[in-house]
């Protein structure tokens, strides 16, 4: 088999794997666990991180983008705001983790990458909520109709955490730890599954 044919075959197989992982991710996205306020825990980003480790950061980002594109077009009513935010936030986990792992494919590097990625995702998530998501949902961004007030947003959290009585406090006391916990949960599950699924994703028996 020539190198050109082999390269085309590998590219096609990668596209198939990306599509399959995106589909699995989209299904997992529908099974979320409500935690506090409007924050929910789901494991839809496990296939994203698995794909990024097995096929490279570019493939991971492609899986993440395809998941959010399909969700935005077919399932969501957030006018694409939630999907854009999810893409940016989760990319904060996937890119550092996959890039660090790619330098030296060892468990140690994978763990370091996921720790770095989890911290980046937590900070990324806080900034996206503070400057994009909450302002958008509160109608503070031009051309985006809001449907909730800042007071109502804060009220979702003060009923559980009385000290979280402003948007800034919600970000620090809820959003930051929530995204950190979510990233750690995804990372732990990915670490447990990777050894078992990586041969399939890499086309090995």
pLDDT of residue 86: 94
Do 133 and 170 meet the contact criterion of CB atoms below 8 Å apart?
no
Domain count, the chain: 1
Q: Which range marks the domain in which residue 116 is found?
A: 3-201
CATH number, domain at 92? 1.10.1760.20
Closest CA to 68 of 24, 22, 103, 21: 22
With a cut of 50, list the residues of the chain below it in pLDDT.
Answer: none
Do 66 and 48 meet the contact criterion of CB atoms below 8 Å apart?
no
Show the beta-strand stretches assigned E in 51-196. Answer: none
What is the four-CA torsion angle of 81, 83, 84, 86, rounded to 10 degrees? 120
Closest CA to 20 of 40, 57, 48: 48
pTM of structure: 0.91
pLDDT of residue 166: 96
Cα gap 123→119, rounded to integer Å: 6
pLDDT of residue 5: 65
pLDDT of residue 18: 96
């Amino acid at each position: 088999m020539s190198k050109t044919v082999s390269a085309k075959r590998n590219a096609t197989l990668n596209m198939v794997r990306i599509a399959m992982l995106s589909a699995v991710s989209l299904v997992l996205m529908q099974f979320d666990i409500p935690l506090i306020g409007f924050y929910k825990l789901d494991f839809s980003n496990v296939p994203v991180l698995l794909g990024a480790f097995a096929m490279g950061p570019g493939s991971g980002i492609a899986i993440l983008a395809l998941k959010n594109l399909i969700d935005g077009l077919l399932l969501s009513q957030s006018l694409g705001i939630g999907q854009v935010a999810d893409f940016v936030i989760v990319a904060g986990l996937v890119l550092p983790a996959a890039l660090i792992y790619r330098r030296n494919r060892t468990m140690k590097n994978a763990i370091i990458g996921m720790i770095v990625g989890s911290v980046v995702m937590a900070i990324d998530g806080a900034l996206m909520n503070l400057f994009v998501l909450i302002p958008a949902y509160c109608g503070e961004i031009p051309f985006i109709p809001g449907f909730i007030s800042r007071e109502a947003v804060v009220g979702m959290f003060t009923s559980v955490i009385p000290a979280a009585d402003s948007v800034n406090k919600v970000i620090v006391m809820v959003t930051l730890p929530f995204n950190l916990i979510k990233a750690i949960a995804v990372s732990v599950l990915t670490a447990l599954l990777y050894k078992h699924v990586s041969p399939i994703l890499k086309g090995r028996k």
